[in-house]
Structure 1
Amino acid sequence: MTAGAPPADAGFPTADRERGAVRTTLAGLTTRGRSFLAAGAAAAVCAYVLGQGDLLRVGLLLAVLPLVCAIVLYRTRYRVAGSRRLSPGRVPAGTESRVQLRIDNVSRLHTGLLMLQDRVPYVLGPRPRFVLDRVEAGGRREVSYRVRSDLRGRYPLGPLQLRLTDPFGMCELTRSFSAYDTLTVIPRVTALPPVRLSGEASGYGDGRQRSLALAGEDDIIPRGYRHGDDLRRVHWRSTARYGELMVRREEQPQRARCTVLLDTRGDALQGAGPDSAFEWAVSGAASALVHMLERGYSVRLLTDTGASVPGEGSDGFAGASQESADAAGLMMDTLAVIDHSDGAGLSPAYDVLRSGNEGLLLAFLGDLDEEQAAVVARMRQRSGAAVAFVLDSTAWTRGEGPSPQLETRLRMLRESGWTAVGVPPGADLGALWREADWQRTSAGPAPMGGTTTGGWG
């Protein structure tokens, strides 16, 4: 990711811009330059009052020196190009990214003292500043700094500012480059154990129907012969029809589907910050997405508003028709900027889910009243297996134990076929993942205070 920049010596061709440039140059006088100018003026006044010619010459020297430095600095035509590289450009929350800056002197003159300053949002750390003593004609300098954020989001870096100063430190001019880059901080991802929540070892189903298995000899759709194809798969009837070698298509295994449902309602998941219930749910959804993609599933991210990522395609899922890394990056970019919604219910998500067979359904839910719990219970009818991680935002904000309402909602979901797990404050997702597998295989909730570390208390 490289950002170019225009030369730092942009001129002022018109008279108005020339006057504006002069005012800007005089405004760039440093404290030392202003002190010299004031001292020269005071000496000139004293020389006039006292009639001292030598003192007048000293005053003129003090006053003229900063003005001459400002004019020379303004007339000096440095042509400097800047670039920025992020490594990497997408990082999980709490990890560092390195920013490398490069300054190229494309003019025929060597530069004087240069001071670099990059604009950085305060959440990424202090604003970096660098001093370059001298850059020869055609030379380059490289400096780097690190940024880190505990809060996910998209943060602009830049534009890069270049300060020019004279050797005496009398005047400073600032030039800003126009380009900037964006650092994407995605949610933290937890490595999950390879359990079989859906009853399948991988994302490729074994008991699915194949269209070719139900087709007769005349219904087979052949394709052109490719180098390396087995000659025993040549379809001679189609070869005679098209005049070129045609082979039978191989049966393509269909990937199992997985929908990750994230509840973003502001009333259901209260609080903000890295340790809030909402951030835990976002991080849990990100971990589940990455885990299921790695296991070969076609995955879709769905929110309570009914919005899905990667979007509306032939089936709305990603991972089968495109690279898993691209699909994961797209969904991670969405989770990096996702925020609380204004929705009051989960009905929009249910309307999307009931349109077809969704396969495995993983839900990260907040507080559920009786009506919303009934909506979630109906979602189970359109999925092959369903696992819900339910957070009690009151317990997260107040540090209390599970409320009786939460236990009632979990029981209601389990009776409708869900594998429902309560999420205590600061719970480990990996432990809850194992608890969900234990609950599915034993057809009942894990005992309180058992072997799992994600239980309450």
Structure 2
Amino acid sequence: MSTAGTGQAVADRGDKGGVRTALAGLTTRGRSFLAAGVAAAVCSYVLGQGDLLRVGLLLAVLPLVCAAVLYRTRYRVAGSRRLSPARVPAGSEARVHLRMDNVSRLPTGLLMLQDRVPYVLGPRPRFVLDRVEAGGRREVSYRVRSDLRGRYPLGPLQLRLTDPFGMCELTRSFSSYDTLTVIPRVEPLAPVRLSGEAKGYGDGRQRSLALAGEDDVIPRGYRYGDDLRRVHWRSTARYGELMVRREEQPQRARCTVLLDTRGIAYRGAGPDSAFEWAVTGAASVLVHMLERGYSVRLLTDTGSTVPGEGGDGFAGVSQESADAAGLMMDTLAVIDHSDGAGLSRAYDVLRGGNEGLLVAFLGDLDEEQAAVLGRMRQRSPGAVAFVLDSRTWVREPSDVPGPSEVRGERLRMLREAGWTALDVPRGATLDELWRQADRERRGVAATGGGEGP
């Protein structure tokens, strides 16, 4: 995926502040020449040396002439930027391609090209371009990389003009900029069975009736074009009119990924923090379930869902599914801690009906929130919870104690409510926990404790 932005910079004389702008562009060499020339002129007056005055005038006039010529020279240069790709996982590199076109009839002098990038993406790139002929083109590129997810602006592009003697430098800026989106890393997951389903369209799929109107009942009245093989004769005899059966059609299995973003539930910061692990886990599950054919959505503790409230709130199929996946990843790229204290808003969203499989990434829990999660489980045929103890993520691994009694009690409450609840220690990989959740689900089902996720 790539994007391109174009802009145009013109180096010419302005109507206001022209002299100040030109003098402000004098380099250290130009200022030194000007100061030496003034000093020589003063000395020639004091000493009465006419030759010294001529030398002083030459030294003083040279940088001024260079500044005036450079400021009045008209360069029309068009620049464009292309990102490849424009959406990149954290820790991966993206390449930025810059292209400069001289659209004027005059060749340019020495140009210095500089692009403005946030410090987290690396050092500011600078390029020196030799003379660009009229109608010529120059292309350069550089790499950017960030371990922190987010949206980072690139630009505006700056062009620095200089004279052949190095006496003056003027900077012109382009107006356009682009945005690099750094999304969470996605960890591949094993294709385990969830809720007895092998995939989104499988033997364990849900089925829904093909509705033809809000007033439909089972069966419904005959309508022009209906297949006569669907006539339900018993209902026809009962109602005294021709009745037909409604067909069934497959419905994609659903999955809701709940991400706990409460600031009070996590400690620490940075790419190795518990919260970043939870964000990465949510992104991995979303992508994995989409690849398996599920209709998915992202839900946070604030009650916000992605995709939004349109339709049934779940990602659709084909191109709509791809767009929804991109929207969810863009949301996770900039998601941050919330100010909420509980999960009640998320529970209100889940009370609407059958939400399918529920996968939750949770921070520290108290008894009240564990009870809310227990009620959430009643709305889902299967539920998996990855519970992170943020205290273990802010210490060295050798200093990490075992699970506390309070934490063990919270996990027990979730399991009694029907969750497959797993403790997430520091350094654990999501794929290992994903497989462990499947083993525990099968173990519970084999002992007759009910079907897990």
Give your verdict on TM over 0.5. Answer: yes
SS at match of 1:324: helix
Which residue matches 1:115?
Answer: 112
Equivalent runs, 1:352-431 vs 2, <5 Å? 352-399=349-396, 400-401=400-401, 402-431=403-432
Q: 2:385–2:420: 8 Å Cα contact kept in structure 1? A: yes
**Which amino acid is the alignment partner of residue 353 of structure 1?**
L
Match of 1:441 in 2: 442
| Correspondence for 1:39 among 26, 36, 39 | 36
Match of 2:209 among 205, 208, 211: 211
User: Given that residues 361 and 387 in structure 2 are in contact (C-alpha distance below 8 angstroms), is that contact kept between their aligned partners in structure 1?
Assistant: yes
Q: Secondary structure at the match of 1:83?
A: strand
Identity %: 78
2:80 paired with 1:79 = no
In structure 1, the partner of 2:240 is none
Partners of 1:345 and 1:365 in 2: how far apart? 11
Give the root-mean-square deviation of aligned CA atoms.
Answer: 2.3
Query: How far apart, CA to CA, are the structure 1 residues paired with 2:197 and 2:372?
Result: 27
Residues 95-141 of structure 1, C-alpha deviations (whole Å, 9 max, x = no match): 00000001110000000000011000000000000000110000010
Residues 297 and 315 of structure 2 are in contact (CA less than 8 Å); yes or no, is this contact kept in structure 1? yes
CA contact (8 A) 1:284 1:429 kept: yes
Query: Shift of residue 235 of structure 1?
Result: 9.6
List structure 1 runs of 4+ shifted beyond 4 angstroms.
Answer: 212-223, 233-237, 248-252
CA contact (8 A) 2:209 2:247 kept: no
For the pair 1:161 / 2:158, whether they are aligned, the reply is yes
CA distance in 2, matches of 1:432, 1:87: 33
CA–CA separation in structure 2 for the residues paired with 1:75 and 1:127: 29
For structure 2, which runs of at least 5 residues remain unmatched after alignment? 212-216, 232-244, 447-453
Residue 173 of structure 2: aligned partner: 176
Quick check: 1:419–1:436 contact (8 Å CA) kept in 2? yes
Q: Are the counterparts in 1 of residues 207 and 248 from structure 2 also a CA contact under 8 Å?
A: no
Q: Is the 8 A contact 2:156 2:174 kept in 1?
A: yes
Task: Tell me the matched-pair count.
Answer: 421
Structure 2 counterpart of 1:126, one-letter code: P
Query: Normalization by structure 2: what TM-score?
Result: 0.88
Query: Structure 1 residues 215 and 208 mapped into 2: Cα distance closer, same or farther (>3 Å)?
Result: farther
Shift of 1:216: 5.2
1:42 CA drift (Å): 1.1
What's the CA shift for 1:193? 0.5
- Separation in 2 of the partners of 1:236 and 1:255? 25
* Aligned counterparts of 2:230 and 2:436: Cα–Cα separation in 1: 55
Aligned AA for 1:438? Answer: R
Match of 2:5 among 3, 6, 28: 3
The alpha-carbon deviation at position 92 of structure 1 amounts to 0.4
SS at match of 1:358: coil
The aligned counterpart of 1:449 is: none
Name which of 199, 203, 206 aligns with 1:202.
199
Counterpart of 1:211 in structure 2: which amino acid?
L
- Cα separation, 2, equivalents of 1:255 and 1:339: 31
Partner Cα separation in structure 1 for residue 349 and residue 208 of structure 2: 26
1:39 and 1:59 in contact (8 A); partners too: yes
Change (3 A) 1:215 1:209: farther
Provide, for residues 393-425 of structure 1, a one-character-per-residue CA deviation record: whole Å limited to 9, x for no partner. Answer: 111123423222221111111111101111001
Structure 1 residue aligned with 2:94: 97
The DSSP-based 3-state class of the residue aligned with 1:2 is strand
Distance 1:398 1:220 in 2: 69
- Contact kept? 1:255, 1:320, Cα under 8 Å: no
Name the residue aligned to 1:448: none
Asked if 1:291 is matched to 2:292, the reply is: no
Structure 1 spans left out of the alignment, 5+ residues: 224-232, 238-247, 446-457
1:250 positional shift? 8.6
Q: Secondary structure at the match of 1:253?
A: strand
Task: Report the TM-score when normalising by structure 1.
Answer: 0.88
Alpha-carbon separation, structure 1, partners of 2:36 and 2:202: 86
Task: Please report how far the alpha carbon of residue 48 of structure 1 lies from its aligned counterpart in structure 2 after TM superposition.
Answer: 1.3
User: Deviation of residue 6 (structure 1)?
Assistant: 2.6
- Mapped to 2, the partners of 1:280 and 1:444 lie a distance apart of 29
- What amino acid does structure 1 have at the position aligned with 2:431? G
